[in-house]
Amino acid sequence: MGKFCNTERMEVHGADGLLGEVEEAEAALRSAAARDLSGEASFDAIIAADQKIEPRDVMPDAYRKGLIRQIAQHAHSEIIGMQPEGNWITRAPSLRRKAILLAKVQDEAGHGLYLYAAAETLGITREELTDALLSGRQKYSSIFNYPTLTWADMGAIGWLVDGAAIVNQVPLCRCSYGPYARAMIRVCKEESFHQRQGYQSLYVLAQGSEAQRAMAQDAVNRWWYPSLAMFGPPDAESTHSAQSMEWKIKRFTNDELRQRFVDMCVPQAEILGLTLPDPELRWNEERGHYDFTQPDFDELMRVVKGDGPCNRQRMTHRRRAHEEGAWVREAAQAYAKKVSVQ
């Protein structure tokens, strides 16, 4: 084998604890399936009993619509998220890193597929979802509207962006909607793998040459605040939170999750020997948490509305792939029709 640091077995603390929660959610899901209240119990009773709503169950229209919006946004994020990392596959600096990155971006496409399938159980089609993304009616995570300028961004994204995604998504493994919870369990297991690989890749850079180290620090400087913004607006301004908590779609508030992420990252940054770009970052004994500077939420809003550095580029790229692939999809349909007639 070629030369690389022996960081394969290095533990990323925090992420492992979260993975334990994924396993607990999986066990809970199995016991919920065994009890199977559905069919007889009302929506409210199922929610109150912490059981799963399944596609055949009666559910309030707002629950259905809210879930479609959330799952679709999540699926779109996986798909658009392929672009910033896809940007470095052809230039990956070793064959081993190339294989890891290629596999990771492929996983993201797979996540998009599971999530679209989960959304489809709520009575919407892939075509409708694709159309909603391409027309801008549905959003994707703003984090993917930032550019990947150096190779170190692959490490920083894996560590911080996949890390933030895990913190956000682990509680969704216990979400009240069965198909979403099941999709999230699969997704979270892979995301934790991504986070570990990103962290290791960044670790190698941080221990490397002066230029590599500078590249790693610069990437962390650029990705830190956008990663904090991934948890959404502060609780006081969050529009969907309260109802989602009541329906057990969401289990923690945006601010709680953001704090959890910061608390997880600080010791990891210390092991990396890299500095998180926040002079206010310090342990607060009284709270039992780190104090930190909030991300710029005005910037988040500008990016959500379409004026981030790469919004236009990402959407143009996606539309172009879709449009230039139209003749291929039509051919597949036409051929399937011919075969079924024969």
Partner 1 sequence: MTPLELADDALVAAQRLSEWVSRAPTLEEDVALANIALDQLGVARLYLQSLGDEDALAYGRSDAEFRNCQLVELPLGPSRGDLDFGWTIVWLLFLSAAQKIRYTQLAAAGDEIAAKAVKESSYHLDHALEWTVRLGDGTEESHLRAQAALDELWPYSHELTEGIREEWLSVVEPVLAKATLAVPSTTWAPSGGRNGQHTEHLSYLLAEMQSLHRAHPGVMW
Give me the residues that bind partner 1 (CB under 8 A), please.
Answer: 1-5, 79, 82-83, 86, 89-99, 102-103, 105-106, 109-110, 112-113, 116, 151, 201, 204-205, 208-209, 211-212, 317-318, 320-321, 324-332, 334-335, 338
Phi–psi pair at 47, nearest 5 degrees: -65, -45
| H-type alpha helices, the chain | 15-35, 43-48, 61-80, 82-86, 95-120, 126-134, 152-156, 162-169, 178-206, 210-229, 241-246, 254-272, 297-302, 311-324, 326-341
Among residues 113 and 271, whose Cβ is nearest to partner 1? 113
Q: Which is nearer to partner 1, 87 or 238 (CB)?
A: 87
Nearest-angstrom CA–CA distance, 7 and 11: 9
39 touches, from partner 1, Fe ion, none (C-beta below 5 to 8 Å by class): none
Distances (CA, A) of 224 to 1, 101, 159: 34, 21, 10
Of the candidate residues 194, 248, 260, 314, the single one contacting Fe ion (CB under 5 A)? 194
Question: Of 143, 132, 122, which is closest to residue 56 (Cα–Cα)?
Answer: 122
Residues 54, 85, 153, 191: which binds Fe ion (CB under 5 A)?
A: 191
Residue 61 CB coordination number (10 Å): 7
Q: Does 74 bind Fe ion (CB under 5 A)?
A: no
> Judged by CB, which is closer to partner 1: 179, or 232?
179
Q: CA 95 to CA 246: how far, in whole Å? A: 48
162 binds, among Fe ion, partner 1, none (CB under 5 to 8 A by kind): Fe ion
Q: Classify 322 as helix, strand or coil.
A: helix
Q: How far is the CB of 51 from Fe ion (least distance, A)?
A: 27
- Of 207 and 275, CB closest to partner 1: 207
Sketch the per residue contact string, 91 through 130, with Fe ion: x for CB under 5 A, - otherwise.
Answer: -----------------x--x-------------------
Judged by CB, which is closer to partner 1: 89, or 301? Answer: 89
Stretch that binds Fe ion, among 71-79, 88-96, 128-136, 314-322 (CB under 5 A): 71-79
Nearest CA among 99, 101, 100 for reference residue 84: 101
| CB neighbours of residue 282 within 10 Å | 11
Smallest distance, Å, CB 173 to Fe ion? 14
Among 85, 153, 162, 278, binds Fe ion (CB under 5 A): 162
Question: Residue 137: helix, strand or coil by DSSP?
Answer: coil
CB of 159 to Fe ion, least distance (A): 11
User: Which residue from 169, 138, 166, 164 is spatially nearest to 72, judged by alpha carbons?
Assistant: 138
The residues binding Fe ion (CB under 5 A) are 78, 108, 111, 162, 191, 194
